[in-house]
Structure 1
Amino acid sequence: MNSRIRKTIFFIVGIAALFVAAVCSVRFGSTNISGEKILQAILQPDWSDSAQIAILELRIPRTIGCIIVGAAFACAGAIMQGITRNPLADSGLLGINAGSSFALAVCLAFLPGMSFSGIVMCSFLGAGAALLLVYGLMSLRHKKLDPVRLVLAGSAVSIFLSSICQAISLFYNIGYDLTFWTAGGVAGIRMKQLTFAVPGIAAGLLLAMLLSKRISLLSLGDDAARGLGIKVERTKTLCLVAVLLLAGSAVALAGPVSFVGLLVPHVVRFFAGSDYGTVIPGSMITGAVFMLLADIISRVINAPSETPVGLVFAVVGSHFSFGRQERGRMKMTDAKQKKRVCMVSLILLVLLAAGILADIYAGYSRLSLQDFWEIILGGGDPGLRYTLIQLRLPRIFTSLLVGVGLGLAGGIIQGVAKNDMAEPGILGINAGAGLALAVFIVFFAGSSQNMTPLLPVIAFAGSVIVAIIDYRLAFTGNGLSPKRLLLIGIAVSTAVSSVTTMLMLRMSDSEYAFVQNWLAGSIWGASWSNVHILFVCLLVLGLLAFYKSRTLNVLVLGNQTATGLGVEVSKQSAILLGIAIGMSSLCCAVGGGLSFVGLVCPHLARRLTGPNYRSLIGITALLGAVLLVFSDIISRTLLIPNEIPIGIVAAVIGAPYFLYLLIMQD
């Protein structure tokens, strides 16, 4: 079919679908309203009629909110994917969602009486501040905006702000309110809030339309765009302004329904081509339609109660998948690299030994050096002996091993997928374990206090089940595609996380706090039996990963090059991904949602010693161990006798240093 005819049909169908969806949004809900009543309310409003009041004050503002929010998120996602040339990109990767969530947490914790309009304004300011922080940090030493560096910095800032947000929600008991907002929804939208959001979104949409041709050229690469007369840096800056206006206003109004921005541009490109003169307006229409349909489902699926629209959208849209991006490589001579590897390894081993000793002495029950040696020699106070042998040492070694496993898993996944944003959590490993725990708590356990011995087994089973689902969906007639596995993992993870969130809203306060702590990252599976299992399994998998390090070095060169050098790409990728999934599933079973370790440690290792996996595997393992051991010290000692989830501490420690490396990188 002629491309122009196909585009015309796409827009005609899209506009018709938008009209039908808008009418259905006003008509259907917990109570259905006739079309005659709707027309009467619009043409001859009667403010004494409760049905007409509901139409004018609730249904119509909500429908308009769905349209502008869906259009804004989808358009922002299309812009991000265009300027970064990464199909995994969306506005959430710039820290906008995390900044808005952080501002909301501050409002709920410290300004509980603030109005909804005030919260919307603060959320927008938080989103803008986060984006400015990312942009400012990446502009300190670099005049050119590198898409990979920008996205990685946004991810680090997002993790940092999300960790602080989790800490605030735990200590101020605002988890329920924050979780419902984070799930995304338009139930509270009124005309007053629309008057705040519409100008910003309208300006963002107009700017996006004006930039659409430039984005098409940017998607070809910076050099190609410059050769065609585009001022690349100015265009990227204007694109970021458009993303802030669109996503900042939308997330403040409806919460982070960012899956819209990830999914919709791919749907539009599939039906209408990759020209951003078509993708931008097509994303606006399609995003609005998808958002309206998700909102209708959220109202009728469990009437008269409502399901957060973000959860519905994630579950319905989770079968769509996305792509990858190549990374640049660091060059270093063999002699220099070996010398540097030895030096870095020695420093990390010293830090690890110091961290273990500090972790032994730290905590609520403090141990002196004399107490430690008395216990080692078989004597000492029985209470301190129990604390050290049965509580503290298992926890220290569990933290160490979890750091090793997650660091290695992240490095392998990034190497096989050739994507800087890849980490174990992106495959749904953490999400699967979290869902398994949530299901068990809600349906099979009266209290989370009496099931501790079962939790690691349940979490591991959830991780493995999700990994198997990913594998089966990613397997094609040509074998396992790492790219396809990574992308399906994103979709499955989003859907599973959405179901977990819905289950959490049904839990008691104690059960909710337990699962929230786990999702934040908590070493709760610390026992000698788990240490033994982790050690043996990680040792075997780690040695196998080292044995395959040369294969990894070839795979990162690209599939065609690897095939030309005699590597069976599909088979070797499946083996390496199996190793990474096994490691991350084991670690997730006893350490909770610590995905940040798998994201940051491989990048730090490459920065310190170069990209050669013969050395990268060992350095990544040591970095993960050091990060989690020191995080464990802080988590247990900072707020004695209370304890901070170790995942929050690891993110607060690791994210700033990661940002520093990105800033200093040439």
Structure 2
Amino acid sequence: MRSIIKKYAIIILIVLILLVITMAVSIVYGSKSISLSTVWEAFIRYDTEDMDHLIIHTSRLPRVLGALLIGAFMAVSGALMQGMTRNYLASPSIMGVADGSVFVITLCMIFLPDAAPMTLILYSLAGSALGALLVFSIARLLPDGMTPLTLAILGTILGTFLNGISQAMATYFQISQNMSFWYNARLHQMDPTLIKWTVPFAIVGLFLAIYVSKAITAISFGDEVAQGLGIKITAMKSLTILSVVILTGISVAMAGKIAFIGLIIPHITRFLIGEDYRKIIPFSAIFGALFLAWSDIISRFINHPFETPVGVVTALFGVPYFLYLIKTKGGRSF
């Protein structure tokens, strides 16, 4: 018992150290570098007339917090989707869930341009649900529609279709500049108010993810195995989809669509941790948070001092890995 407690204490300590280092680097470096001493002063003696202090509190801190949260949410969503569908290629960005959010947010920006943060989040959640419903409903109508490669292709097609409609409407209603935030996922425009409003939804989404994690472990080995263990498959899958919808919806509401986190991180986590989703879920959250935060840091130096969309960095990792998965495992389930 003591060895287990010691083991988890060490893991928690390492995670905390990594998070502190990540936050420090993210706050210090950008188009303008800020010294660590200034960062420390901004937290203990905040001066509203000091420009560096304002940058830290209104831009750098919300940015890194948003990156950590979104990375965690998208990674957990991807892990849940892969476990539930037994699909190596499943992720919110590939299966149309994130594109559904962007589509409905576009409608919100057209008809409710001054929408409050809560309204925006609710629209994004509705869009996530719409994307998931479309993909899985159509997949069930097609022969072999639930196979990994077919689901990935269908999700990509529907996602591209929804994204195309979104951009066409944004151009027609002359809101393209406003919508560029959600299309290009610029974390430097993170709204601190949105982060606060997403917290209750995040708690519910993560609680559901942890609650279904044991069942997802059984389901990932096949529905027959899960049924033999007494798992209520329909109920568990419904709660899993709800968790994915919530976590993806609030992520898109905060910073727009960011691809490939939900695809890459669960695979890395399973390789390092094993097949137990009671461990995969929390470790996916940690790895996803660190991955997106460091991707954001790297994006600042690609074309320094100008900002590069973080999606460019995640795509540099994600596209080759996606092609690798299609070649090696695309036609097979877990």
Which bin holds the TM-score, normalised by the shorter protein? 0.7 to 0.9
Secondary structure of 1:266 counterpart: helix
Cα distance per residue 1:135-183 (max 9 Å; x no partner): 677899xxxx968697777556535433422432454455565455323
Name the residue aligned to 1:254. 255
Q: How does 1:337-376 map to 2 (within 5 A)?
A: none
Q: How does 1:230-241 map to 2 (within 5 A)?
A: 230-241=231-242
Deviation at 1:69, TM superposition (A): 0.5
| 1-structure distance, mates of 2:98, 2:24 | 30
| 1-structure distance, mates of 2:215, 2:243 | 13
Name the residue aligned to 1:640. none
Superposed CA RMSD in Å reads 3.4
| 1-structure distance, mates of 2:100, 2:214 | 30
Name the residue aligned to 2:194. 193
Deviation at 1:64, TM superposition (A): 1.1
Cα distance per residue 1:627-646 (max 9 Å; x no partner): xxxxxxxxxxxxxxxxxxxx
Name the residue aligned to 1:483. 328
Q: How does 1:227-626 map to 2 (within 5 A)?
A: 227-321=228-322, 482-483=327-328
| 1-structure distance, mates of 2:121, 2:263 | 23
Report the AA paired with residue 18 of structure 1. L
| 2-structure distance, mates of 1:289, 1:159 | 28
TM-score by length of 2: 0.83
Structure 2: where are the runs of 5+ without partners? none
Q: How does 1:125-136 map to 2 (within 5 A)?
A: 125-132=126-133
Secondary structure of 1:77 counterpart: helix
Residue pair 1:15, 1:285 contacting (<8 A) in 2 also: no
Report the AA paired with residue 82 of structure 2. Q
| 2-structure distance, mates of 1:218, 1:164 | 35
Report the AA paired with residue 81 of structure 2. M
- Specify whether residues 265 and 13 from structure 1 end up closer, same or farther in structure 2 by C-alpha distance, changes over 3 A only: farther
- Specify whether residues 319 and 271 from structure 1 end up closer, same or farther in structure 2 by C-alpha distance, changes over 3 A only: farther
| 1-structure distance, mates of 2:304, 2:292 | 18
| 1-structure distance, mates of 2:201, 2:324 | 30
Cα distance per residue 1:198-241 (max 9 Å; x no partner): 22122211221122111111100000011011111110000001
Residue pair 1:87, 1:323 contacting (<8 A) in 2 also: no
Secondary structure of 1:230 counterpart: coil
- Specify whether residues 226 and 153 from structure 1 end up closer, same or farther in structure 2 by C-alpha distance, changes over 3 A only: farther
Cα distance per residue 1:22-48 (max 9 Å; x no partner): 111111111122222222222222222
- Specify whether residues 225 and 240 from structure 1 end up closer, same or farther in structure 2 by C-alpha distance, changes over 3 A only: same
Name the residue aligned to 2:215. 214
| 2-structure distance, mates of 1:92, 1:316 | 14
Q: How does 1:102-117 map to 2 (within 5 A)?
A: 102-112=103-113
- Specify whether residues 169 and 53 from structure 1 end up closer, same or farther in structure 2 by C-alpha distance, changes over 3 A only: closer
- Specify whether residues 287 and 113 from structure 1 end up closer, same or farther in structure 2 by C-alpha distance, changes over 3 A only: same
- Specify whether residues 175 and 44 from structure 1 end up closer, same or farther in structure 2 by C-alpha distance, changes over 3 A only: closer
| 1-structure distance, mates of 2:58, 2:170 | 32
Deviation at 1:191, TM superposition (A): 2.1
TM-score by length of 1: 0.44
- Specify whether residues 85 and 11 from structure 1 end up closer, same or farther in structure 2 by C-alpha distance, changes over 3 A only: farther
| 2-structure distance, mates of 1:321, 1:129 | 24
Name the residue aligned to 2:35. 34
Cα distance per residue 1:39-66 (max 9 Å; x no partner): 2222222222221121112111111111
Report the AA paired with residue 45 of structure 1. Y
Residue pair 1:68, 1:198 contacting (<8 A) in 2 also: no
Secondary structure of 1:92 counterpart: coil
- What is the count of residue pairs matched by the alignment? 323
Identity of aligned residues (%): 35
Cα distance per residue 1:433-459 (max 9 Å; x no partner): xxxxxxxxxxxxxxxxxxxxxxxxxxx
| 1-structure distance, mates of 2:90, 2:49 | 49
Name the residue aligned to 1:90. 91
Higher Rg of the two aligned structures? 1
Name the residue aligned to 2:69. 68
Residue pair 1:208, 1:280 contacting (<8 A) in 2 also: yes
Deviation at 1:108, TM superposition (A): 4.5
Deviation at 1:75, TM superposition (A): 0.4
- Specify whether residues 252 and 22 from structure 1 end up closer, same or farther in structure 2 by C-alpha distance, changes over 3 A only: same
Residue pair 2:77, 2:91 contacting (<8 A) in 1 also: yes
Residue pair 2:77, 2:248 contacting (<8 A) in 1 also: yes
Deviation at 1:85, TM superposition (A): 0.7
